[in-house]
Each structure stands twice: as C-alpha cells, then as structure tokens.
Amino acid sequence: MASNRSLLVLPGDGIGAEAMAEIRRVIGWLETNRSLSFDLDEDLVGGCSIDAHGVPVTDAVMDKAMAVDAVLLGAVGGPKWDDVDFSIRPEQGLLRLRKEMELFANLRPAVCFEALADASSLKRDVVAGLDIMIVRELTGGVYFGEPRGITDLPDGQRQGVNTQVYTTEEIRRVCRVAFDIAKARDSRVTSAEKANVMESGILWREEAQWVHDNEYQDVELSHMYADNCAMQLVRWPKQFDVIVTDNLFGDILSDAAAMLTGSLGMLPSASLGGTDENGKRKAMYEPVHGSAPDIAGQNKANPIASIMSFAMALRYSFDLGDEADLVEKAVENVLASGYRTGDIMQPGMTDVSTTGMGDAILAALDNLAA
Ligand code: IPM
Ligand code: MG
C-alpha cells in the first residue's frame, strides 16, 4: 500500500551513508512498532554525484526533492573533490537544494543532554540543561548575493567579491519563524547582526523590530551584535532562548553552539520553506556536522545528529510529535546508560561503533514501547 509519507534519502559523502543507514533502522522500527509507513527513495548528492554525473546534484534529483514531503541528507564533500571547479563543488549541491526548494529557515537546536554535560569543553554548570534554538536564514545573504566572483585588476592584483544582501521580506519571514518557535518555548528572541558596521545589519534590526511590534508583541525581542553573540554563547549560553540571524552569522554561531552540547556529532537541523495553500512546507533534514572523511567507512561516526534530524522530520513534516519525542527520549536514555561514540567518549563509558549506537537506540526504543 502506498504511503502518504514520502522521503528522499540523500546520504551524500563520507560518513553520510553510515549515518543514514542508522536512520533507516529507526524508520524500520517505527514501521514495525507504530504501524507507520514511509515511501523511501534514495539518490546521490555531493561528491558521489560529481563522480557519477559530473554535477553535485542532477536535475532529476532536484525534481524528486521538490516532490517529496521531506529530504533526509547525510553530508557532502571530502578531499577527493578539493580540486574540482568551484562551480561544481560538492557543497554547491547542498546550496542548490536549499535555494531551489526555498528552505529559508534553518532550525538548529542546541540541547545539552544531562549525560553529556561533562563532554563539552565548557564547564558543566555553563552547559548543563542548555536548550537553545538557532534560527538561521538559509537562502539569502552573502552565500547567494550578487555580484560575486574573482576578477583581475588592471594593476595585476586579483579581487574577490561577495555581496551581503537582504530584502525586507527575506528578513521578515525568517523572523516570523523564530517568533513562532519562541512562542512554544520561553518566548524570547535575540536577533543577531552587525548593525554597527553593515547597512544590511541596520535593515535586519529594523525589520526584526517591525515584525515584533506589528505581529509578536507577546514575545520578548532583543538585539545583539553577532560578535558579542559569539562571545555570550561561550560565556553564558543559557541566557538565550531563540537566536535569529543571517546565513553567514548563523553558520558560524551554530558551530559554536554545537560544541556546547558536547560534540558536533550531536546537532541536528531542519531546513523549512514557506507553507503552501495546503498547509504543506518543503523541508530538508540534515546533521550540522560534515562528511568527516578521516573516519568515513570505519563504523566510528556518531549517528545521533542524523537520528535527531529524523526526529525533527517526524515533528515538523509529519506531525508525529509523539514519535519524535520517543526517538529523542531513546537517545537520551542511551546516553544516560553510558553508550558513547568516539567523539563523545569519556572515562568509564562504553565505547560503541556507529552500528553499536544504532543497536542501543533500537533497544531503548523497544524498552520505551514495552
Ligand atoms: C552548514 C555547512 C554548509 C554551510 C556547507 C557544507 C556549505 O557548513 O550547513 O553549516 O556553510 O552552510
Ligand atoms: Mg556550517
């Protein structure tokens, strides 16, 4: 029987395939134990697509991505493709998916599980109980702005140009997502930009304030310069509830936030588009970590960021909040029982492989369901 829940799995490169294999096992568990069904298709993105087709994502894969309820992406890139032309780098596949699917809101929750409070490079009391959400604008700013490029100057030098550009509506729509999320949390949004240096930052600040004053007066809004925000994230991250920021600052701030949780291997993300007339929104889910070529294929990668990304898919694309809670609880229990992949390993804990972590999470799901 055809399911009405369609997923396109794009494992990509490096550890992407190993991590996605563990998601498939969780999907299998839900199908068996929760009578849910998913239609899964799988295809190439990134370096493996360059090898097979000469481009990091094909038009055919783009068509599939546009048609499904959700895309699950692993990771892209690796040293093998360091020398390919910039225009077809593996990362361009990811950027094309984000841009053409119009996934303008990237949700990066940084949650520190109690069991990992000592795995962070920061002191326990700084990170214990941390639960913040970074909302990163994903389809605008300096990542896509024109003009861009490298040109030769008359005096023999070269000049590299990228353009930071934002329009009113680009800023307002991502701020609305941040305010909506804040309403279901602690109702506080911090908007981060560089209004002291950049005109685009002044506009960002004014538009964020406009959305607040006109649509979300019940949510508290504060403004912060992005450099100060980076500092505050490592000084006292629990002061934040939701942070909304542009594409480039969000890229940087979310990597910093990831380390608060113990490891980049822990951080999931959801990239969401606008809602259409049927209330549906395009979406892609991916771990924040990269392809980790140094450990790829060795069954060492931490699959938790990927599995937690799938939990976000359950929540945001399929309205399966209970199942999302269940998967997140299983991960929490596994960590509390002391299972650790190498990236979060600590003295006295049980060192497990990628598949070993998957086994433990399935067992925890069994226990929760029993
Ligand atoms: C991320 C990554 C990407 C980005 C790269 C792989 C293009 O760092 O998702 O944070 O810069 O957005
Ligand atoms: Mg990044």
Q: Is residue 311 part of a domain?
A: yes
Q: Is residue 325 part of a domain?
A: yes
Comparing C-alpha atoms, which of 274, 287, 279 is closest to residue 104?
A: 274
Q: Is residue 270 part of a domain?
A: no
Distance (angstroms) between ligand 1 centre and the Cα of 251 equals: 7
Q: Which of 13, 43, 69, 143 is flagged as catalytic?
A: 143
The environment of the single-atom ion ligand 2, i.e. residues with CB closer than 5 A, is 251
Inter-helix orientation angle 59-67/90-100, to 10°? 40
pLDDT digits (tens, 9 = 90+) for 146-176: 999 999 999 999 999 999 999 999 999 999 9
Per-residue model confidence (pLDDT) at position 279: 83
Q: Is residue 326 part of a domain?
A: yes
Distance (angstroms) between ligand 2 centre and the Cα of 31 equals: 32
Residues 144 and 183 in one domain: yes
Mean pLDDT of 325-353: 96
Residues 6+ apart with CB under 8 A from 153: 159
CATH code for the domain of 331: 3.40.718.10
Residues 248 and 136 in one domain: yes
Q: What angle do CA 257, 263, 265 make, to 5 degrees?
A: 105
**Does the structure show a pLDDT above 80 at 2?**
no
Q: Is residue 244 part of a domain?
A: yes
Answer yes or no: 300 catalytic. Answer: no
Answer yes or no: 41 catalytic. Answer: no
Q: Is residue 275 part of a domain?
A: no
Per-residue model confidence (pLDDT) at position 1: 46
Ligand 1 atom with the shortest distance to the CA of 247: 12
Residues 174 and 221 in one domain: yes
Mean pLDDT of 207-228: 98
pLDDT digits (tens, 9 = 90+) for 119-153: 888 999 999 999 999 999 999 999 999 999 999 99
Domain range for 25 is 1-106+280-370
Answer yes or no: 238 catalytic. Answer: no
Mean pLDDT across the chain: 96
Q: Is residue 241 part of a domain?
A: yes
**How far is Cα 81 from Cα 291, in angstroms, rounded to an integer?**
12
**How far is Cα 247 from Cα 314, in angstroms, rounded to an integer?**
25
**How far is Cα 105 from Cα 273, in angstroms, rounded to an integer?**
7
Residues 70 and 3 in one domain: yes
pLDDT digits (tens, 9 = 90+) for 245-282: 999 999 999 989 988 998 888 999 999 999 888 888 99
Query: What is the total count of domains within the chain?
Result: 2
Last residue of some domain: 260, 291, 316? 260
Reduced to 3 states, what is the DSSP secondary structure of residue 9?
strand
Residues 56 and 172 in one domain: no
Residues 295 and 234 in one domain: no
Residues 6+ apart with CB under 8 A from 248: 141, 142, 143, 164
Q: Is residue 274 part of a domain?
A: no
Residues 162 and 230 in one domain: yes
Q: Which two tokens stand for residue 273?
A: 């588009």
Q: Which of 13, 69, 166, 194 is flagged as catalytic?
A: 194
Q: Give, using CA atoms, the residue closest to atom 6 of ligand 1.
A: 91
Strands 220-225 and 270-275: unpaired
